[in-house]
Amino acid sequence: MALAPRLDLRQSQSLVMTPQLQQAIKLLTLSNLELETFISDEIEKNPLLDTGDISTESGESGDGDDGPSEAAAQGSDEILSSGPAESESTLDMQGDTDSFSNNSLSDSDGALDGQLGLNGSGSSSGSSASGDAPDFENMLVAEITLTDHLMDQAGAVLSGMDLFVAQHIIDQIDECGYLQADLLELAQRLNVGLADVERILGVVQTLDPVGVGARDLAECLALQARDADRYDPAMERLIENLDLLAKGALPQLKRMCGVDDEDLMDMISELRNYDPKPGCKIGGGAVQSVVPDVFIAERAGRWIIEVNSATLPKVLVNRTYYSELKDGAQDKQSKEWLNECLADANWLVKALDQRQRTIVKVATEIVKQQEEFFHKGVAHLRPLTLKNIAEKIEMHESTVSRVTSNKYLSCSRGTFELKYFFTSGIQSSTGGEAASAEAVKSHIKSLIDNEDPKKILSDDKLVTLLKTKGFDIARRTVAKYREALGMGSSVQRRRQKALEGKAA
């Protein structure tokens, strides 16, 4: 068989990662606060993008007071898989699934867009609202930090070189109030004597809050004991042997401290009143607030789901300015740049609108799947995966993953990350429906919180009790969940409850 070169012509389809597609994928992943920054950058780059109300002629983009009036009927998967849209093309509205009315959860509070109502039968209806939400973030008063609090006090009792050294010491104190620096290294860096640094540290340790400036827990408790005038030789030995106290070696501590049972319990009770993290009373920095991306509330047996658009600017295409620029464009390069700006602006508006609809679609299905949680609490949380949601709403699993990343849901039970509702399942011992891992953790916590101090529940006993509740769970899984909840073993809990009982 002879080998010879030849030409073949083949046709194939492939997904090309265009800039518009990359932008749409990025928008799905961003939270509302991150999206606000992204939109601000896009407005600076594109002169045809604007925020607020812009007058438009009929038959144009349809951008008015309530944002884009034409919504995408196709799913976000279709938008992501499609190429660059025509600059003047619009997205059709799906009239049988979305309708709009002025009945929003936040009519009196601010602007919330993209509302969907979910009734018991699973049908949905939408509404929108407009207005300016109050900027609560600007109403916050700046909280004084621990460093500022200590420097104000140090300035009143120290001056000159001593104040200079005190400032460096205070700078090395963490938010819990502990000194995170080696005094010898600090003395060498400042070119002062170690004795001077130790003397000034002693002054810093007298500042408020009591216990600040300590280098370890024992020193922190000793400072507070001295301030309370309880630092006698017995208390000193007790503080020096906190490891024995943690192990519950009370007979050994009695011999070392030279006290009886009553005095030892009184000393332990005194230690319990001290603060192991005194710096936290003042606060170590700015408070990181969580802004929900979705609001959920129940009205007359129907779930109302809204996207929080109060944190987002209203993005519109300024077609009036486009007409002015178009008339002034003479050369071919200017016209191409202007058309490119218009195409990018139209695509961004449509992508933002589709992003909101996709978020609401995913949140609506989460509420349907986890309705028992919203009614009865975490004990009724069902096992759920991204694949379950993706199949229900007919989208790809990766799209659901992007939608639920870095986004929070606010309901009557609090604020939760959307990822919180996706948990693994524990099989039922009775052959019924599987239970969520978070629900099992809730039952474990309830059993331990209500256990008899005289009959501490072992992990094996917890397994038995959970099986009576219908959870088929292994002992190692119980131990893993218990440790995740921050609860000690049965030995540790027995020792702790014994100490608490004696101290009481």
SS (H, E, C) 299-350: ECCEEEEEECCCCCCCEEECHHHHHHHHHHCCCHHHHHHHHHHHHHHHHHHH
Residue 204: pLDDT over 90 = yes
CA distance 373 to 413: 9
Give the ranges where 377-427 is alpha helix by DSSP (H).
386-393, 397-404
Nearest to 379 by CA among 424, 445, 432: 445
Q: Which pLDDT does position 429 carry in this prediction?
A: 58
Where residue 127 falls among pLDDT bands split at 50, 70, 90? Answer: very low
176, 165, 174, 234: which is closest to 202 by C-alpha?
Answer: 165
Structure confidence by residue, pLDDT tens digits, 416-433: 888 888 877 676 655 556
The average pLDDT across 372-385 equals 85
Q: Coil, strand, or helix at residue 257?
A: helix
Q: What is the pLDDT of residues 453-494, one digit of tens each?
A: 888 888 888 888 888 887 888 888 888 888 888 888 888 788
Q: Is the confidence at residue 112, as pLDDT, over 80?
A: no
Q: What is the pLDDT of residues 312-344, one digit of tens each?
A: 778 888 888 888 888 776 678 888 888 888 888
pLDDT band of 299, cuts 50, 70, 90: confident
